[in-house]
């Protein structure tokens, strides 16, 4: 998402692949970070997704927007539902597939999508959103089966639906949360949640397509954009 925003604004940058380049990982650690994205401009750095702060660091105008509480909760719920429908039809031999330049297989993408949504609830409950908890890749072989992955998704769906049951307290969405990029409102955290989850849903669909499997009632890019997601052009 960070690279997409920089590209959209015509900002030239050098992208380093810490997953596949040990030297890039060493450079990241020298800056004092363990997770990405990280942006460095001379001796100034920032980590995580904070488009307003990124614009200030790089030097372009940006007006950050979030959906209404109803839009945020409704769209996240639809993304989770779509992900559950998708993982239910993934065959056993497709779970280890990944993009050629990525180390994250399909089962980790799916687990991560559901985890992102669960962490959105936890952010509201705990008033914190630590990236070192939810951004870290994990290898969970026991979830590389359709029934178990769908069951995990259903558990997250139930938790999310129960916590954000109507009627929503609109004022609570302006409450400040301690995030990896500094204080953010709950609306900003959930905006990040739905964009991140929506992008991973697109990636799940892409890998399923390589396995010649179609997700039932898939959400198109047009569907996601109509929900209010500002999607990057690239899927990966």
Examine the domain organization and report whether 165 and 99 are in the same domain: yes
Query: How many CA atoms are closer than 13 Å to the CA of 136, on its beta-carbon side?
Result: 9
Residue 12, both tokens: 């030239």
The sign one gets for the Cα dihedral 104, 109, 113, 114 is negative
Q: How does pLDDT run across 120-169, given as a tens digit for each residue?
A: 999 999 999 987 676 777 888 888 899 999 999 999 999 999 999 999 99
The tens digit of pLDDT for each residue in 203-236 reads 999 999 999 999 999 999 999 999 999 898 889 8
Q: What is the pLDDT of residue 35?
A: 66
Q: Write down the pLDDT at residue 236.
A: 87
Short-list 136, 138, 132, CA closest to 152: 138
Q: Considering the domain boundaries, does residue 200 fall inside one?
A: yes
Tokens of 80: 């989770």
Q: Are residues 83 and 188 in the same domain?
A: yes
For residue 93, the model assigns a pLDDT of 95
235 belongs to a structural domain: no
Is residue 234 assigned to a domain? no
Q: Could you list the residue range(s) of the whole structural domain that residue 114 is in?
A: 69-226
Instruction: Say if residue 28's pLDDT is above 80.
Output: no
Task: Please report, for the domain that includes residue 156, its CATH number.
Answer: 1.20.120.450
Residue 232 within any structural domain of the chain: no
Is this model's pTM higher than 0.75 or not?
yes
Residue 139 and residue 42 in one domain: no
pLDDT above 80 (res 195) = yes
Give yes or no: residues 101 and 121 share one domain: yes
Q: How far is CA 119 from CA 113, 128, 152, 179, 184, in A?
A: 10, 9, 14, 11, 15
49 versus 44: the higher-pLDDT residue is 44
Please tell me whether residues 166 and 127 are part of one structural domain.
Answer: yes
| Same structural domain, 88 and 188 | yes
Helix axes 146-163, 106-126, angle to 10 degrees: 20
Residue-wise pLDDT for 69-103, tens only, equals 999 999 999 999 999 999 999 999 999 999 876 77
Across 194-214, b (16+ Cβ under 10 Å) vs e yields bbbbbbbbbbbbebbeeeeee
Would the pLDDT of 112 be above 90? yes
Helix%, strand%, coil% for the chain, nearest 5: 55, 10, 40
Q: Is residue 215 part of a domain?
A: yes
Is residue 18 domain-shared with residue 48, that is, in the same domain? yes
Beta bridge partners of 125: none
Look at the block and give the residue holding tokens 């558990």: 155
Residue 145: what pLDDT? 93
Answer left, alpha or beta for residue 59, where phi above 0 means left and psi between -120 and 50 means alpha. left
DSSP three-state, residue 201 = helix
Answer yes or no: is 10 within a domain.
yes
92 and 207 belong to one structural domain: yes
pLDDT tier, 1 (very low <50, low <70, confident <90, very high otherwise): low
Residue 236 lies in a domain: no
Q: Do both 156 and 183 map to the same domain?
A: yes
Q: How many domains in the chain? A: 2
Residues 77 and 54 in one domain: no
Residue 62 predicted with pLDDT over 80:
no
């Amino acid at each position: 998402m960070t690279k997409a925003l920089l590209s959209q604004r015509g900002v030239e940058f050098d992208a380093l692949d810490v997953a596949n380049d040990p030297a890039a990982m060493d450079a990241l650690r020298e800056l004092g970070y363990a997770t990405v994205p990280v942006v460095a401009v001379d001796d100034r750095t920032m980590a995580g997704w904070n488009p307003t702060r990124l614009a200030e660091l790089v030097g372009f105008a940006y007006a950050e927007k979030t959906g209404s509480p109803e839009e945020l909760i409704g769209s996240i719920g639809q993304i989770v539902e779509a992900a559950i429908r998708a993982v239910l039809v993934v065959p056993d031999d497709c779970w280890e597939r990944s993009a050629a330049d990525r180390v994250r297989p399909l089962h980790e993408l799916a687990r991560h999508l559901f985890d992102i949504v669960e962490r959105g609830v936890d952010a509201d409950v705990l008033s914190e959103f630590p990236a070192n908890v939810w951004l870290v890749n994990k290898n969970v072989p026991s979830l590389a089966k359709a029934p178990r992955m769908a069951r995990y998704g259903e558990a997250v769906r139930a938790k999310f639906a129960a916590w954000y049951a109507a009627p929503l307290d609109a004022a609570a969405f302006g409450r400040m949360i301690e995030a990896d990029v500094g204080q953010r409102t709950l609306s900003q955290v959930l905006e990040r949640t739905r964009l991140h989850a929506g992008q991973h849903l697109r990636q799940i669909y892409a890998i399923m397509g390589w396995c010649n499997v179609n997700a039932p009632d898939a959400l198109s890019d047009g569907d996601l954009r109509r929900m209010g997601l500002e999607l990057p052009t690239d899927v990966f």
